Amino acid sequence: MDNAHLWLPYTQMKTAPEPLRAVRTEGCRIILDDGRELIDGIASWWTACHGYNHPHIRDAMEEQLAAMPHVMFAGLVHEPAQALAAKLAAKAPPGLKRVFFSDSGSTAVEVALKMAVQYWRNRGQPRRTKFIAFHHGYHGDTMGALSVSDPRGWLHGASSQYFPLQYHIDIPLDELSFSEFRDILDDIARSAAALLIEPLVQCVGHMRFHSADVLAEIYRIAKEHDLLVIADEIATGFGRTGYFFACEEAGITPDILCVGKALTGGAIPLAATLATEEVFGAFYGDELTMALMHGPTYMANPLACRAALASLELFEQEPRLAQVARLEERLREGLEPCRNLPVVRDVRVKGAIGVVQIDPQQVDIFALRSRFVEEGCWIRPFADVVYLMPPFVISDEELDHLTGAIHRLLSRSET
Ligand SMILES: *Cc1c(COP(=O)(O)O)cnc(C)c1O
């Protein structure tokens, strides 16, 4: 068995080290084919919030697998989708009552963009086709989603000339920049359908934080300018920032909300775009041309819906948000000693997200990845951040092992 037929993501296949081969997962661990066990500090791209192979999710999926693994979702619906849509609507910020299912975060964003543009067209304002998005934002890898992601930097690779042009601006963080933000919106809002934001934490864009007050003020000013607001909670949703949804901390209800990643607890792909009745209402009419023309083949896959339902039940049956609060404290304690290291620029923690920002000139990120594996840790630093976004159920010992390894390796990696 070799990798002759594989093409890996974000990878220079010629120079990248051999990927490791995983054979099993268990709790918060990934087990490799040579028997080594790695403690997963990043929950498989932020999905496995209950750890791996949770029996409650597995049982639900096994039952669904026997009954109906899949059925198309046009003209047919099923109980898992109905129950999940109802549950998501109940858990989301108040007012987000309609749920459109899809299969990945990027698609959930594409759907949100289409909803926003057509919302205005259906309401007689067809020129509102642009989007206002923030520097350091990331909303997915497909064309539309990348067009609203930060165009500077590595994300776009060499293909950005194909994308529609959008407005990219800084997140306003103080009074002066808020007045500038308002001026910019005065100029451009009339040509824009919506403003997009990753609430509280811009994850792929170097794990940058802004406060709930800043988020609330951005929302207020966007609404003053009659913009739709799209919250991309694909990374922040399901407890990651300490609230079930990050928007809750700012007390806002976006017009459209995207979820993905941890929706099924990391068991199987599923994503969703939630909309208010106001947005849904703009599509509700006699003409097919007013309808939302989108429909992924595996939309609302029953197996995935059941996994998501089981995952949401776990948030009710087990003290997940309390675990996140504890994790926040322990991440703070564990990472704080890194602050004094010469290669470290900043240490910050929000919910179950711990970030050590380093000077990339002084640290070889790729070498560091291999060192972490040698320490029994699955931690994947990128750009200028070494970060942890572990499963919420990680034990104190496992977490301390991860934070200890970060401190130890960054102590050694001076110049
Ligand atoms: C990961 C991510 C996406 C894209 O999700 P995929 O499932 O990889 O398509 C979009 N937005 C945010 C904020 C993300 O973190």
- pLDDT, one tens digit per residue, over 326-357 is 999 999 999 999 999 999 999 999 999 999 99
Q: Ligand 1, closest atom to CA 142?
A: 9
The closest residue, in CA terms, to atom 8 on ligand 1 is: 105
The tens digit of pLDDT for each residue in 277-292 reads 999 999 999 999 999 9
Residue 310 tokens read as 């089981």
User: Residues of the chain with pLDDT > 70: what percent?
Assistant: 97
Mean pLDDT on 204-208: 96
Is there a catalytic annotation at residue 138?
yes
Residue 117 has, within 13 A of its CA and on its CB side, a CA count of: 13
Cβ 270 vs Cβ 108: under 8 Å? no
Q: What are phi and psi of 361, to 5 degrees?
A: -70, -30
Which has the closest alpha carbon to 315: 56, 119, 107, 63? 56
Write down the catalytic residue from 40, 103, 150, 232. Answer: 232
Q: Ligand 1, closest atom to CA 198?
A: 13
Cα–Cα distance for residue pair 54/385, rounded to 1 Å:
29
Is there a catalytic annotation at residue 219?
no
Mean pLDDT on 30-55: 98
Question: Which pLDDT score, from 0 to 100, does residue 84 have?
Answer: 98
- Cα(301) to centroid(ligand 1), Å: 19
For the chain, what is the mean pLDDT?
96
Mean pLDDT on 211-236: 98
**CB burial string 393-411: b at 16+ within 10 A, e below:** bbeeebbebbbebbbebbe
Pocket lining for ligand 1, CB < 6 angstroms: 104-106, 109, 138-140, 198, 203-204, 232, 234-235, 260-261
The tens digit of pLDDT for each residue in 354-411 reads 999 999 999 999 999 999 999 999 999 999 999 999 999 999 999 999 999 999 999 9
- Hey, which of 196, 207, 234 would you mutate to test ligand 1's pocket, going by the most ligand atoms within 8 Å of its Cβ? 234
Is there a catalytic annotation at residue 243?
no
- Cα(415) to centroid(ligand 1), Å: 33
Residue 119 tokens read as 């919302």
Q: Does residue 22 carry a pLDDT above 50?
A: yes
- Cα(104) to centroid(ligand 1), Å: 7
**CB burial string 305-340: b at 16+ within 10 A, e below:** bbbbbbbbebbeeeebbebbeebbebbeebbebbee
pLDDT band at residue 152, thresholds of 50, 70 and 90?
A: confident
Residue 109 tokens read as 């964003």
Cα–Cα distance for residue pair 90/310, rounded to 1 Å:
15
The tens digit of pLDDT for each residue in 44-86 reads 999 999 999 999 999 999 999 999 999 999 999 999 999 999 9
- Cα(256) to centroid(ligand 1), Å: 15
Find all residues with CB under 8 Å of 105, minimum gap 6, and list them: 140, 232, 234, 258, 260, 261, 271
Question: Which pLDDT score, from 0 to 100, does residue 415 have?
Answer: 41
pLDDT band at residue 26, thresholds of 50, 70 and 90?
A: very high
